[in-house]
Chains A and B, each alone.
Chain A
């Protein structure tokens, strides 16, 4: 808990929230994945979204930067309504960094080019300025020595750190993480989480869909538990993970924290 011991000093949660979601619905055909989500993420706040697969947590995240078009409801980022039909979505996305489960680095570009191309094409930075920002962000994620490597030659954990650096190089106000460690071998998870922890400490506003309960407990300011397209519980990690009030949350956590035990319980039931 040391990292979140003094949130009131470093984080300004009094002003308008960085992310605001109001009455959000999303359907894929007949399948209603989100069924009325209301959520706020304050400036500098770290919110972890947990829940069983198919609960809609990734869809919620993808609605924030409009990778998915919401069926109903509003999303505001930094005071701008991103769901407004007239909004310049490319301009909004420049302020929102996103990290994917599958890294999605550009395989035909080197690590440095992965970081510089978006800066040059989207922000119009010249080559020199972009390279400087790229080098600085590679240093932050501890991968300066891989600057000239191609993504395929990196481990999954290194690729994901490059992906984080690529998002950071755009200077985002908000970072979205969509299960950033789920595709990694267990021994590579730690390096990625360390980078995310560093960002949280620096006061980055973060929304993280994750199954890493230790990370959520130690780094998050708030934990949101979702199930079947609605938010079931929303509170501090101590409340939601440590002392859940809903049966669904308890069931999910018991299966996640000790899947073997949960199976045994079910199997041995008469």
Chain B
């Protein structure tokens, strides 16, 4: 037993390491619960309920918030994503080009559009484009404008993701394709890009979640009643009724989409992780 005695010696406090861990975790929980209680006690629940939980007001929002606002949010997001993806692929390929000016242009594009707040780009598209090209309409009306603004932002992020994906495809794939007589462009389209996309699907889905939230910036383009999306819809109703319940409901509608999407991303990432093993 002398061996175990020396082992036990450093235990001055009389607690094993496991016990110590349990105590420290208990303290953390206690602090957390105390903070919650403090918040619960000090918050003015009646005020909050009046402002955010008017059930009859929430009921009034249906079905328009789904059939109009959520539908528009999804439409704006998808059109922005599709345009951004197409542009992103082009910029990524330019970034990887052997032609210097292509690489520089792509680099400049990425730096600018990643560095600017999406809000400024929406204002730019809404104001500067009509000024610069008087008389011309962006095709698709508001949808076209949103696709352009969201797509410009998304393309800068997606281009970097896609570039990394293309570079992650082993060099031997391009060499094998070229040795079979594929042109460089053909090999890219038929062999390299399909493999790159498998790699970048999880990060691109993440980008979709970001775009879904950024679509709220449509607000700054000025939209008709029929073109309102979740944020605008909620805000309009909130100022009309002098009550914030519509904001809360709109927020829940966002979560309705973003939480399942986040789940999908994690599943895809886990699957991709397995595939590389």
- Which residues of B approach A to under 8 Å, CB–CB? 170, 172-173, 175-183, 186, 190-191, 194-195, 198
Contacts and interface: CB of A to CB of B under 8 A. Distances in A.
Contact of B179 (A96, A105, A121): A96
Contacts of B190: 117, 121
A108 B194 CA distance: 8
B195 A93 contact: no
Given A106-B173, A108-B194, A118 B181 contact: yes
A118 B180 contact: yes
B172 A107 contact: no
Contact of B191 (A98, A106, A163): A106
Interface string A64-99: 010100000000000000000000001101101110
Given A90-B181, A91-B181, A118-B181, A106 B186 contact: no
Contacts of B175: 67, 100, 104
A98 B190 CA distance: 19
Contacts of A122: 180-182, 186
A13 B190 CA distance: 39
A107 B181 contact: no
Contact of A104 (B173, B182, B183): B173
Interface residues of A, number: 25
A106 B176 contact: yes
Nearest to A152: B275
Majority-rule SS of B interface residues: helix
Contacts of A91: 181
10 contacts: A93-B178, A94-B180, A94-B181, A102-B170, A102-B172, A104-B175, A121-B182, A122-B186, A123-B181, A170-B181
A90 B173 contact: no
B176 A104 contact: yes
Contacts of A100: 172, 175-176
B178 to A, nearest CB: 7
B136 to A, nearest CB: 39
A97 B198 CA distance: 28
Contacts of B182: 90, 118, 121-122
A93 B170 CA distance: 20
Contacts of B186: 121-122
Interface in A158-186: 163, 166-167, 170
Given A90-B183, A117-B190, A67 B178 contact: yes
Given A65-B179, A90-B182, A93-B178, 8 more contacts: A67-B178, A93-B179, A104-B173, A104-B176, A106-B177, A108-B195, A121-B182, A167-B180
B198 A166 contact: no
A114 to B, nearest CB: 9
Nearest to A120: B190
Contacts of A65: 179
A170 B177 CA distance: 12
A142 B181 CA distance: 25
A198 B191 CA distance: 30
A99 to B, nearest CB: 9
Contacts of A108: 194-195, 198
Contacts of B179: 65, 67, 93, 96-98, 167
A94 B172 CA distance: 17
Contacts of A90: 178, 181-183
A90 B170 CA distance: 21
A202 B133 CA distance: 68
Contacts of B177: 106, 118
B277 to A, nearest CB: 11
